[in-house]
Structure 1
Amino acid sequence: MLERTRELEEIQEKLVQKERLAAMGEMAAGLAHEIRNPLSVIRNSIYFLQTVLSGKEKIKVEKHLKIIDQEIDETASIIEELLNFTREVKPELSWTKIDDLIKESLKSLPIPRKIRLAKKLGKDVPRIRLDKVQMRQALKNLITNAVQAMPQGGDLKIGVKVNKRHLVISVSDTGEGISEKNLEKVFQPLFTTRARGIGLGLAITKRLIEANQGEIEVESREGEGATFYLKLPLPSEQIQRGKSN
């Protein structure tokens, strides 16, 4: 009886959450439209100024125009993050080679020179079925999060290992770490300790991983960096042990 009650409560909670996300999605779509239009006008104005200014005038304002352009990119990124969070996650599964997925994720991210990158991808890692686009986004979010945690530079380590139940991808940094009181909050929507951003990156990452039947965990001590573990299930019917193409 208790188990049935818990199941009903979980179903009810999921329905409420789905309704909230749908409402947020409508609001986010409207906001995105209203904000993107003036951003486009500002960007066009920047382009116009860059074409008409010359000589000393251009040198004086060029730096400030670049700052404005960067802020537009930052605002557009926040809008996209909000839209991604409110979209329904429906994975399209295909057999995937994990080391290729990691390489593709890194290829599209600029890693600063002051960050030392180390990869340990393991041997005989089986292919598993997942949504490549979603998991690539989840990995990019974790890598970006690690880089942002090390503004003065540090070590970024990405590892892959297989145990009896999971394929585990780890992303580690040597940044400021996460305090004990914040460890339970890092995956909550709108939670952030940083001056910039709206705190949806890790919440989106968690949703993407769970949509692919995976789990995410974090280990950290304040001042000692953090390690995020992305765990993907390895049921026998999902494992394809053939050699990579």
Structure 2
Amino acid sequence: MSDPADYQALDGLPAPVLVVRGERIVHANPALLQLLGIGLPEVLATPVLMLLARFSPEDQRWLEPMHTEYTRGKQTPHKLWVRVRVAEEQERTYCMSRGEGVRAEDTLLMLMDAEGEASTRRLTESLVEAAGALLHCRDEQGVLETAVEAIHRHGFSVMVLLLEGDHLRYGPLRQDAAQVTTCEVLYGKPLQEIRFPRSSLPHIDEVLARHKAAFHSDFLQVLENMRAVEPLAWLRRAYPSVRALDAPIFVQGKPYGILSVQGETLTPTSAATLELFARQVGGALENVRHHRLAASRLAELSRLQSELVAQERLTVLGEAAGVVAHEVRNPLGAILNAVAVLKRDRLGPVSTSAVRMLEEEATRLDAMVRDLLDVVRPMEPRPRPLHPGELARRTLELLRQRHQLGTLQVSMNEAPDLPMLQGDEMLLQLALENLLRNAVQASPPEGRVTVSVSREPEGVLLTVEDEGSGISPADIHRIFEPFFTTRATGTGLGLAVVRRVVLAHGGTVSAGQRPGGGARFELRLPLPPAPMPD
């Protein structure tokens, strides 16, 4: 044993100190005894390996082999991070440094409380993992939510302040629920709807100008220096004495917002880690925008390719249509003339039925040729002012007069104060006729077809809904292609005509499922441009 006087000077140190000789403990200062919650005789009677049981199970797995290597003279690290079970059976992180004792065979071990540094290490590891997750987010809200959740898991209050011109607004946040409720009651609206002047937080401009975070050891003092605005009272109640960090978020070199973190355990070291994380958040937001731009460009490229293919098809179809119109319509005209002559004669029942069937089929072929020509002929609208409600009513009445609505219940919903459109009445009526015929053919007997006309910010919306079998997901992208049909007797030309008419008017047409079953077609037509001021 060593003379206790050899290590008496260690007893006055506030840091826990242990002196080890081989497999035995020869001295422990009062700070260590207090830490472990046991007396000096018990410590001196405890072998080193048994004392290691005071360390966390994860640390024991590598501490015991390392101690064995050290006693055999092998080189081992002089500084270790360890977790120790203290007197209250809680674990704390310490930095254990090794030094030489008074005697050559003695080893001096000093434990420095490193809970703050350990928290920073855990925070860093967590934020590195979160940074990887940010790269998989596909929208900006997802990036911000992932970021604030990763920080909040470490006990910090966190929020993102988003820049909107000269104002700031709250983005995703993790704050005390009672304080959030108090603020929302004060404003009478949800926190995310609150806007406050950027000038009310003067240090924010400095943070953005310097591209550098601001660490506040006393957040209350920062608030006292601010101008008196309504959020300050809430912030004072929320953070009466706490450290805080405001880190800038830049996206593509432009200020995007502020990552604001508050907490009693926030240290300059962890603040530096959070500042780097704010840069990662900005990078992830750039990544989202790049993905969105790439997706938009890909969709545009796909659209242009589809239009090019459709145009090539129409070119080929136009050449074929010209031949068909010439080679088919002339014989059809002769057939229909012959039918008209036969109908003047007195015919028997069988002959009358045959002539009627011949007329119906020839008329159907003539309609098919007419639809084919409508698909391929150049669309050159002759616009004039027209009322969309009157257009829909007139088209319905025309189909009733032709007895083309059958036994269906057809209703119309017309919004008040509809704006006037600029369009070719004949072409738009043709498009609406085709939509209605399609709905009639798809509906069951005694079914319902609904036509609705309403106003939208960009123009007018006409919808046609039926109670048929609907449109399968596989067909919904092809339904406006020429000759595509799901009916055995259909030509697949009517909806192609609708699409050409609408596009010629600068509008859009889409198809989808009707709530409750059936199909829903939406035809959108733009308003005429506003007149230029004098």
State the TM-score, normalizing by the size of structure 1. 0.84
Aligned to 2:325: 32
Contact 1:189 / 1:200 at 8 angstroms: preserved in 2?
A: yes
**Alpha-carbon shift at residue 26 of structure 1 (Å):** 2.8
Taking a change above 3 Å as real, the CA distance of residues 211 and 175 of structure 1, as seen in their structure-2 partners, is: same
Contact 2:465 / 2:514 at 8 angstroms: preserved in 1?
A: no
Contact 1:165 / 1:235 at 8 angstroms: preserved in 2?
A: no
Contact 2:384 / 2:423 at 8 angstroms: preserved in 1?
A: yes
SS at match of 1:39: helix
Paired amino acid for 1:76: D
Deviations 1:84-113 (A, max 9, x none): 111111111111111111122122213434
Aligned to 1:228: 521
Quick one: distance in 2 between partners of 1:175 and 1:11?
33
**Alpha-carbon shift at residue 198 of structure 1 (Å):** 2.1
Aligned to 2:499: 206
The match for 2:389 among 77, 99, 109 is 99
Aligned to 1:74: 364
Paired amino acid for 2:389: D
**Alpha-carbon shift at residue 72 of structure 1 (Å):** 0.8
Quick one: distance in 1 between partners of 2:490 and 2:298?
39
Aligned to 2:126: none
Aligned to 2:446: 153
The match for 2:337 among 44, 55, 74 is 44
Taking a change above 3 Å as real, the CA distance of residues 5 and 188 of structure 1, as seen in their structure-2 partners, is: closer
**Alpha-carbon shift at residue 20 of structure 1 (Å):** 4.7
Aligned to 2:427: 134
Deviations 1:152-197 (A, max 9, x none): 2300101111122231011111112111211111111211011113
Deviations 1:20-52 (A, max 9, x none): 534432321121111112212222222232223
Aligned to 2:284: none
SS at match of 2:482: coil
Taking a change above 3 Å as real, the CA distance of residues 33 and 166 of structure 1, as seen in their structure-2 partners, is: same
RMSD of aligned Cα (Å): 2.8
**Alpha-carbon shift at residue 133 of structure 1 (Å):** 1.4
Deviations 1:102-151 (A, max 9, x none): 12212221343410011111100010111211111110110010001125
Unaligned runs of 5+ in 1: 239-245
SS at match of 1:180: coil
SS at match of 1:118: strand
Aligned to 1:241: none
Quick one: distance in 1 between partners of 2:509 and 2:305?
24
Paired amino acid for 2:317: M
SS at match of 1:219: strand
Aligned to 1:164: 457
SS at match of 1:108: helix
Contact 1:179 / 1:222 at 8 angstroms: preserved in 2?
A: no
**Alpha-carbon shift at residue 79 of structure 1 (Å):** 0.5
**Alpha-carbon shift at residue 5 of structure 1 (Å):** 11
Q: Which of 131-140 and 217-226 deviates more?
A: 217-226
Contact 2:421 / 2:528 at 8 angstroms: preserved in 1?
A: no
Contact 2:385 / 2:423 at 8 angstroms: preserved in 1?
A: yes
Taking a change above 3 Å as real, the CA distance of residues 30 and 180 of structure 1, as seen in their structure-2 partners, is: same
Quick one: distance in 2 between partners of 1:5 and 1:155?
40
SS at match of 1:183: coil
Unaligned runs of 5+ in 2: 1-295
Quick one: distance in 1 between partners of 2:374 and 2:510?
21
SS at match of 1:156: strand
Contact 1:50 / 1:62 at 8 angstroms: preserved in 2?
A: yes
Tell which has more relative contact order, 1 or 2 (C-alpha 8 A, sep 6+).
1
Aligned to 1:178: 471
Q: Which of 36-45 and 162-171 deviates more?
A: 36-45
The match for 1:62 among 339, 343, 352 is 352
Q: Which of 111-120 and 93-102 deviates more?
A: 111-120
Contact 2:444 / 2:467 at 8 angstroms: preserved in 1?
A: no
The match for 1:191 among 473, 480, 484 is 484
Contact 1:115 / 1:154 at 8 angstroms: preserved in 2?
A: yes
Paired amino acid for 1:32: A
Paired amino acid for 2:330: N
Paired amino acid for 1:87: R
Q: Is the strand fraction higher in 1 or 2?
A: 2
Taking a change above 3 Å as real, the CA distance of residues 13 and 170 of structure 1, as seen in their structure-2 partners, is: closer
Number of residues of Structure 1 aligned to a counterpart in Structure 2 = 235
Contact 2:407 / 2:446 at 8 angstroms: preserved in 1?
A: yes
Residue 86, structure 1, aligned to residue 382, structure 2: no
